[in-house]
Amino acid sequence: MKNSDQKLVDAIRGGDSAAFETLYKIYMQRIHNFALRKLGDPSEAEDVTQEVFAAVFTCLDRFEGKSELVVWIYGITRNILNNRLRRRGGVRLLCLDEMPPQAAPSELGPESRVAARQALACVQQAIEALPREQRRMLELRHGKRLAIRRIAELTHRSEDAVKSSLYRARRTLASKLPGAKLELSF
Amino acid sequence: MSKERAKRREVDSQWLRSAFWDEVEVEIEALDWYDFLEFLEADSLPIPIRGEFREELRERLRDFVRERYSH
């Protein structure tokens, strides 16, 4: 766990209200927008945001620092979203075109944004270094969000071969991008 | 017990079950980098949040944290 994560978590556990405000400001917009992108329903996105924060603050004692705080909160968000999507039976992505045109005032400082972009650049480099086929599979699956079956048709490979290629690509990325490389200075 | 309170209790028990945290660990271990990057970048999307929701949630959480972690 990064030192800043540890300090923030310790401060909240110690009853520091400023630390609570910091964590809320860093994650509120991010969790809400991510949930809205996945669910496409503003009311459900609010429910998920509330659930995630309640889980985070109820169970902050469970945070052991085995991963970065941002990854831990992402894991909770992802799990709550998965549960909701399972109950509902599918994903509906909200296109940028469908979003309201007015830009929300961001509460985050420029440092967080820069850190996120640096992490993005780091991942981009790792993706570019992948073998061509793995890169293509990632792009089709995650960039274009095609189904495995459709990718198999387009690339003239079996579905198992596509899955295998995606698995190898993810493993390679995971090995090249350990949490320590994510310099997210929150 | 009110409907909302019953729902709240149901959700609370869900977080406290170890299966919930096992699944969080699975999500972290199988980190999908594209999805994670979407999460990192999500705060810069032009999506307004209802001010009322933002403030109400902040108030509720602040009270909760104060109660839970004050010594």
pLDDT > 70? residue A177: no
Q: What is the chain A residue with the closest CA to B59?
A: A21
What is the rounded CA–CA span in Å between residue A78 and residue A94? 17
Flag if A96 and B40 touch (Cβ within 8 Å): no
pLDDT of residue B25: 80
Long-range contacts of A128-132, Cβ-Cβ distance < 8 Å, separation of 24 or more: A129/A176, A130/A169, A130/A172, A130/A173
pLDDT of residue A111: 58
Same fold for the pair A3-95 and A110-181 = no
pLDDT > 60? residue A106: no
Enumerate residues 6+ apart whose C-beta is below 8 A from A66: A1
Question: Cβ distance A104 to B47 under 8 Å?
Answer: yes
Domain residue limits at B33? 3-69
Is the C-alpha dihedral spanning A110, A111, A116, A120 positive or negative? positive
Nearest by CB to residue A119, choosing from B11, B40, B65, is: B40
- CB-CB neighbors (< 8 A) of B30 in chain A: 170
Tokens of B58: 């902040």
Q: What is the chain A residue with the closest CA to B37?
A: A120
More confident residue, A184 or A110: A110
Q: Where are the domains of chain A?
A: 3-95, 110-181
Interface probe, candidates A1, A12, A16, A32, chain B, greatest B C-beta count within 10 A: A32
Q: Is B27 on the interface with A (CB under 8 A)?
A: yes
- CB-CB neighbors (< 8 A) of A176 in chain B: none
Give per-residue pLDDT as tens, A27-70: 999 999 999 988 888 999 999 999 999 999 988 888 888 788 88
What is the rounded CA–CA span in Å between residue B24 and residue A63? 11
Q: How confident is the model at residue B11 (pLDDT cuts 50, 70, 90)?
A: low
Flag if A75 and B25 touch (Cβ within 8 Å): yes
Q: Is B59 on the interface with A (CB under 8 A)?
A: no
Q: How confident is the model at residue A115 (pLDDT cuts 50, 70, 90)?
A: low
SS3 for B40? helix
What is the reported pTM? 0.62
Q: Provide the ipTM.
A: 0.78
Flag if A82 and B37 touch (Cβ within 8 Å): no
Interface probe, candidates B16, B40, B54, B64, chain A, greatest A C-beta count within 10 A: B40
Helices marked H in B1-71 — which ranges?
Answer: 3-16, 18-29, 33-41, 51-69
CATH class of A110-181: mainly alpha
Flag if A28 and B57 touch (Cβ within 8 Å): yes
What is the rounded CA–CA span in Å between residue B23 and residue A85? 14
Long-range contacts of A164-168, Cβ-Cβ distance < 8 Å, separation of 24 or more: A165/A133, A165/A134, A165/A137, A166/A134, A166/A137, A166/A138, A166/A141, A168/A134
pLDDT > 70? residue A89: no
- CB-CB neighbors (< 8 A) of A99 in chain B: 45-47
CATH assignment of A3-95? 1.10.1740.10
Q: Is B3 on the interface with A (CB under 8 A)?
A: no
pLDDT of residue A87: 78
How many distinct structural domains can be found in chain B?
1
pLDDT of residue B56: 94
pLDDT of residue A128: 79
The DSSP code sequence of A101-158 is SSPPPP-S-HHHHHHHHHHHHHHHHHHHTS-HHHHHHHIIIIIS---HHHHHHHHT--
Flag if A75 and B24 touch (Cβ within 8 Å): yes
Give per-residue pLDDT as tens, A148-173: 888 899 899 998 898 888 888 877 77
**pLDDT average, residue stretch B19-35:** 78
